[in-house]
Structure 1
């Protein structure tokens, strides 16, 4: 099998030839940030929003990068055959001469990107989407979850915990309220109103989360950002999760509690049809992504 082409520090090269120093601070300390960006027909979906969030994370870590990231990612996708791709981008502080917790000034950041194909899952419609089970567990991550950093060990462990309970995702709880999922944002529906935790609770500003809220406003669907506790979660009419790679997924069970009537809800179906119709048009080249709204 021919190796995928990746980008590393100014070069596009086969993945089996890409090498990073053992003293890279991303490897040693997780001193790095990342983004996962869908590309449809070679065009980055919500690319401005992803790059704005990347810049926010880089500023928070005081990492400065001077490269044409848009150009790099577009060339990378084209180098792997174009079409519909999920692009992973990671930027570390760089490699020092020795391991030290103290940040060495003047390091050159390491910039790495790779991609893999995205399957068009939208042509079969909402009936083909399977609802999932989630568990709720303690949020043991650091308090700066607004930074999309690579310190993901807590996320990995709770996802493994979910797997052991035959669930597909874990929602995290801190100080009596739900924050977000291990790899997603979440929403609940009560009497036709859409609710999601506010960003000031220290959660990641998900690009798909933002798009869902935009759709709600455009469609005249009432929505609120407010704290959500466990009781509200399990008694909600509907529960969803969202992410760039999974779009909007209905949750049918939380722990041992069935949500609503145990079926995919009507508001989720409405959002799914709007959201995925737009994404499918992008995948097939039928839509102008520059509009960036459904």
Structure 2
């Protein structure tokens, strides 16, 4: 199954085969919209409130007047699970665009936003989370408002594709050597027992799992330091890991041709993975006893 049959589109629930995508859709023509990807575990959303908060911030930033209040839209998303009898692991993709109107750079007047939401099955990347992944470094050529989760992802796609062509899972982005984030995840390094990551500026996406990572670190009494750092700091790290809704917390054990420490996931990453599993009510990556090192 690629997509669950019932989708939410243009104000109602319908079978996906009946969806008629508007021709003059501003999301299609301009990338004039925002989106979210929300993780589902065993038929329940994880970090739903955080995703909804970010959705409404993104909508406000690009001046889209959303037709649903927060509680109403949460109810729609919960109904989407119910109507699809969703009981497994998956993800919901939701997208809001400015609407359909004759092509013009100026915002159309009195045009209703187009709202789409659909569910896909999504198994957890257990092998990658257990063993770790490799990454390349790549220049960050994106625009200056990456905190908005907009549809304009071509620079991200190019970086992710280059990583894939080099046999790697992700691309670690940097501006003149200063690490920002990955092409589709936040990135962190561990040194001397401290977690370091880029500050929450307009230059990165404020990840929902990142919020959880900071909370886990506080509970575990691990210093969580938001500061700009260099590509060289990553390669000299004790541990490196990334976080996102689909990748959870995944160790990075090799960057470019450089092995991170001993090439194995580190103890702090393992502790965070275990905290994530407890928080989400899912199976841990490894037994709890192995996180106590």
TM-score normalised to structure 1 length: 0.90
Name the counterpart of 1:60: 61
Q: Check conservation: 1:133, 1:253, Cα contact below 8 A.
A: yes
Name the counterpart of 2:279: 278
CA-to-aligned-CA distance 1:156-175 (integer Å, 9 cap, x gap): 11111001111110111113
SS at match of 1:200: coil
Asked if 1:165 corresponds to 2:166, the answer is: yes
SS at match of 1:269: helix
Deviation at 1:103, TM superposition (A): 1.2
Name the counterpart of 1:192: 193
Q: 1:222 to 1:74 in 2, by over 3 A?
A: same
CA distance in 2, matches of 1:34, 1:236: 33
Structure 2: which 5+ residue stretches go unaligned?
285-293
CA distance in 1, matches of 2:202, 2:28: 29
Deviation at 1:119, TM superposition (A): 2.8
Asked if 1:116 corresponds to 2:120, the answer is: yes
Deviation at 1:176, TM superposition (A): 2.6
Deviation at 1:218, TM superposition (A): 1.1
Name the counterpart of 2:289: none
Structure 1: which 5+ residue stretches go unaligned?
284-294
Q: 1:201 to 1:189 in 2, by over 3 A?
A: farther
CA distance in 2, matches of 1:127, 1:3: 26
Q: 1:270 to 1:81 in 2, by over 3 A?
A: same
CA distance in 2, matches of 1:76, 1:9: 14
1:1-294 pair list within 5 angstroms: 4-67=5-68, 68-83=72-87, 84-96=89-101, 98-119=102-123, 129-200=130-201, 202-281=203-282
Deviation at 1:43, TM superposition (A): 3.2
Instruction: Please identify runs of 4+ aligned residues in structure 1 that moved more than 6 A.
Output: none
Q: Check conservation: 1:120, 1:280, Cα contact below 8 A.
A: no
Alignment RMSD? 2.0
Q: Check conservation: 1:237, 1:260, Cα contact below 8 A.
A: yes
Q: Check conservation: 1:42, 1:74, Cα contact below 8 A.
A: no
